[in-house]
Homo-oligomer: A and B are copies of this chain.
Amino acid sequence: MATIKEIAKKAGISYSSVSRALNNQTGVRPEIRKKVLEIAQELNYHPHSSAKALVQNRIGVLGVVIPRTSEFAFQNPYYSHMLLGLSSVANDMGYHLMLVINQQQSYASLYHSHLVDGIIVLANRIDDHYIPELVRDNVPAVVVPGYPDGWEFDIPSVNSENYQDVYRAITYLINLGHRDIAFILGGMNSNYSLVRLEAYKAAFRDKGLEYKDKYIKESDFSKTDAFRLMGDLLNLPDPPSAVISINDATTPGVLHQINSRGLRIPKDISVVAIGCSDLVDLTDPPLTTIKVPVTQVGRAAARFLIELIEKGECRERHVVIPSALVVRESTGVWPNR
């Protein structure tokens, strides 16, 4: 493959001049530059990224770590939307994306071995072993979502309004008259679950009401588990009048359980779904949703990380992307007559 030296030889100049010509640097005559570019084209020259990286100490790659171990988690459209956002910004800013799924290896080593310039950790869990290392070793890194307030260490993060959203949704349901509101959560090692459960409780408290533990169900983020738990809820002597489902993986399970019992939404039970999938408006009826702007979160995370890499610091360490409660037809007043 063509190298800079070959171009230099062919053009009859030194290879430092070739380098300068190719990189749009000053100090090379226009006609020489033109000639160099022509020869480069002709030889199908491409700069050797490793050689470049070696001397510039920058490879132009962002590491994207998806630490989840279970297959179903990755099926969640969450990751597609996120990657889309990350990718669009990375492309625009001249970076590539290295995707690391569930590697049983320290994330920091990706950085230490100069494979990536920085790291984005997606859907981190509260008990993720490898994250403290990123902080300790000063690795440019952003986690999505961040840790709950008052966490033991501080690492840059991007969040959507996880807390506010659930708070708004519960308040909305309470205002509709609901009191027995079920919450299908994910595992409590998920930061999403933690923060959203806090919001759930707070919304009740702030209305002067009591929430009931029996309506709070901890799933493994799978549709089948959600199906099972929703079944348990509907088997209660006093089943909930509303349910909120934590993500796009659990929602189909919830809906399927409700439908299979012949219950009508929202007449018999109201449903609020949290997620980013557009499928919600294809359900019957269209779902009231906490629309999580995942692609935008991804875009923000990429921008954030690149700033961290290039400037070495960041203005704000915790970015929050606003989101919205979209009221459609799956929620209604209670009791319904």
| Residues in A lying within 8 Å of B, measured CB to CB | 1, 44, 46-51, 53-54, 59, 61, 64, 71-72, 74-77, 79-81, 83-84, 87-88, 91, 96-103, 109, 112-115, 137, 223, 227, 252-253, 256, 259-260, 277-279, 282-284, 295
Q: In the bound complex, how far is the Cα of B14 from the Cα of A278, in angstroms? A: 60
When the two chains form their complex, are residues A84 and B74 in contact, meaning their CB atoms are under 8 A apart?
yes
List chain B residues, Cβ under 8 A from A278.
72, 75, 223
Could you tell me the distance in whole angstroms from the C-beta of A278 to the nearest C-beta in chain B? 7
When the two chains form their complex, are residues A253 and B282 in contact, meaning their CB atoms are under 8 A apart?
yes
Q: In the bound complex, how far is the Cα of B54 from the Cα of A1, in angstroms? A: 13
List chain B residues, Cβ under 8 A from A48.
54, 113-114
When the two chains form their complex, are residues A84 and B113 in contact, meaning their CB atoms are under 8 A apart?
no
Residue of B nearest to A284 (CB): B259
Residue of B nearest to A87 (CB): B101
List chain B residues, Cβ under 8 A from A223.
278-279, 282
List chain B residues, Cβ under 8 A from A282.
223, 227, 252-253, 256
Q: In the bound complex, how far is the Cα of B84 from the Cα of A223, in angstroms? A: 19
List chain B residues, Cβ under 8 A from A74.
80, 83-84
When the two chains form their complex, are residues B115 and A96 in contact, meaning their CB atoms are under 8 A apart?
yes
Q: In the bound complex, how far is the Cα of B248 from the Cα of A77, in angstroms? A: 12
List chain B residues, Cβ under 8 A from A279.
223, 252
When the two chains form their complex, are residues B98 and A71 in contact, meaning their CB atoms are under 8 A apart?
no
Q: In the bound complex, how far is the Cα of B61 from the Cα of A90, in angstroms? A: 18
Q: In the bound complex, how far is the Cα of B227 from the Cα of A295, in angstroms? A: 24
Quick one: which of B44, B83, B109, B112 contacts A99, CB cutoff 8 A? B83
Q: In the bound complex, how far is the Cα of B97 from the Cα of A97, in angstroms? A: 9
Q: Is the interface of A mostly helix, strand, loop or mixed?
A: helix
Q: Identify the 6 closest CB pairs spanning chains A and B, nearest first.
A: A46-B112, A50-B53, A87-B101, A46-B113, A50-B50, A99-B99
When the two chains form their complex, are residues B103 and A91 in contact, meaning their CB atoms are under 8 A apart?
yes
List chain B residues, Cβ under 8 A from A259.
284
List chain B residues, Cβ under 8 A from A260.
284
When the two chains form their complex, are residues A80 and B81 in contact, meaning their CB atoms are under 8 A apart?
no
When the two chains form their complex, are residues A96 and B100 in contact, meaning their CB atoms are under 8 A apart?
yes
Among A88, A98, A260, chain B packs the most CB atoms within 10 A around the CB of A98
Could you tell me the distance in whole angstroms from the C-beta of A69 to the nearest C-beta in chain B? 11
When the two chains form their complex, are residues A87 and B99 in contact, meaning their CB atoms are under 8 A apart?
yes
Could you tell me the distance in whole angstroms from the C-beta of A75 to the nearest C-beta in chain B? 5
15 contacts between A and B (CB under 8 A): A1-B112, A46-B114, A49-B113, A49-B114, A50-B50, A64-B99, A71-B295, A74-B83, A75-B278, A77-B77, A80-B80, A87-B99, A87-B100, A96-B100, A97-B101
When the two chains form their complex, are residues A113 and B47 in contact, meaning their CB atoms are under 8 A apart?
yes
Contacts A50-B53, A114-B49 given: A84-B71 contact, CB under 8 Å?
yes
List chain B residues, Cβ under 8 A from A46.
109, 112-114
When the two chains form their complex, are residues A80 and B75 in contact, meaning their CB atoms are under 8 A apart?
yes
Q: In the bound complex, how far is the Cα of B79 from the Cα of A12, in angstroms? A: 49
Given contacts A50-B114, A87-B101, 8 further A-B contacts (CB under 8 A): A48-B114, A50-B53, A50-B54, A75-B278, A77-B77, A84-B101, A97-B99, A259-B284
